[in-house]
Structure 1
């Protein structure tokens, strides 16, 4: 009956909580970094705190193991270790093991740690007689430690032991234990049946609880249900340990999902308006200077990229009417004042400052505005008396699209007056014989 009830509980529990993490080749490679990821020659591996439920794959992949650490998992059965002939130390502390079994093939085993498991059947201790080199055995924290005559029974059963529960075994202690061996067997057997009945009650009650939790899980869980679970008393059983582990895994999964959703909701910039025209974007908030006035044939963009930033993190995309510079995944996009030739554009870094300079040829070159002399004659004057005026440049500087220390391009009212005076000073008299005639009206 005990066996069938255990199977029934396991099936119900798997249906409710699903599969646990398993030992895989990826996990073995991850935990064998100290051996440069080489698994076949591995002599020591630690697979603790991985929520592993079953021992597998180690027989085939890691036959040269000498130290195997599997503590703090959810392993319920000792299995698939018989090919590890060189294994000397096996740590299965803080698991869900209820019986000692399947260790006969570990010919070199010297130390076995089963601290804080659920071992109630001490008959499994007899199977350790085949491990002739076993010197240390730790069973502290198991239900069997409360049995009447537990220590004497183990000492008498395993003559090769030198230390039990980190306490050295004296020769006189072994002699006394052997003298009481028949009595100890009866006491151990009687206590075990009491414990077996108690475990049967625990399992049946736990099955009912899991069925209720399964119905609740179908509904939407809230914070109150979570608080009730953690405030409820724990009975320190394998089932409770698995339930707690599943609850923790479920919470971690929910947190990962929330983090993933938050990443999805991150702001995604719009590069173009509904009409297809590009926007000006400066995600890295970096200083730049777009100059289209000093050179009539080219447009230049000077971006103040971080001096020590590797060029592999910078990507430049020149389009006819805009330019896009990606700096470590962040985008600087600028609308160009005119169309440029993309194939002939050049991008280069300054070796000293690290700045990025992009030179983009214009498709239509601007005509150079010179300063021709314009002659104006008056009807009342001779042909010799001519006024010559040098044409002022029609190009005016505009405020550049830049971020950083602003340049002093704004002019106040006094500067405007000065410019007007300069225009009047541009009147150049070509004829030295010219005489000012007050009857001639001033030029406007």
Structure 2
């Protein structure tokens, strides 16, 4: 098992070997950036001598637990994507942490970040989840990040609702592509709480196929500059905002007319020409009188002459035939 320790740092050709003029303890105390990405590391040992560490790169390893980082009170950037981490833990002492990268792990619940009051970026994309599972975000963690978080990436995590994310009112960049979001009304409600939002990616969600999907989101997110990788110019945004305002104003006037009785709903008829006009008394009798006589709707018939050559007998035969037909 490869474990990250001060001895491993000292043996690294990219670190202590090139700085022999200093003792190991002096070197470790001055160390601010440490890069041990893609080194098959499975565990983090005692690094407490690296008290001034600000940036730590540990991505593309085999780490299963976040541990032994309590000393790093000056750490601002932590890169631990593409490991085997299942829980977010032991980060409460990292009071200055600004960027946290945990994508490509096996995390199912986003929690344990309540003490990170300066966290601005949280990257959680592409978690390796079991079939049927989805990434869950603890509401307590979301509330604790409400004043600081500006960037959130939750791409490809089987997420089907984001109602609790409304608490993140300082969010500027939001990525939730390739999930299962489908409720347009929910999205509009959540995004209305994000006045600072500039960039958003929802591509690959079922909601993208909804009618007026793009137009509706642009009118809700009035500062949005980029949606699903496509730029939004000021002219298009202003046109849509004006269109929505006009539509809402017309609806308001119509609702007021209905409430005050100015707008009257007339009974529906099958003949539009028979619909009453304003100020005209509606009468079923008058309408019925306008109909054509029944006789005019009957088909014309040619009646053969009777077998007799006499005109009187022919008339009698025609009369008998008509009487029989209309009886």
Shorter-chain TM-score: what band? 0.3 to 0.5
TM-score normalised by L of structure 2: 0.43
TM-score normalised by L of structure 1: 0.32
Whose strand fraction is larger, Structure 1's or Structure 2's? 1
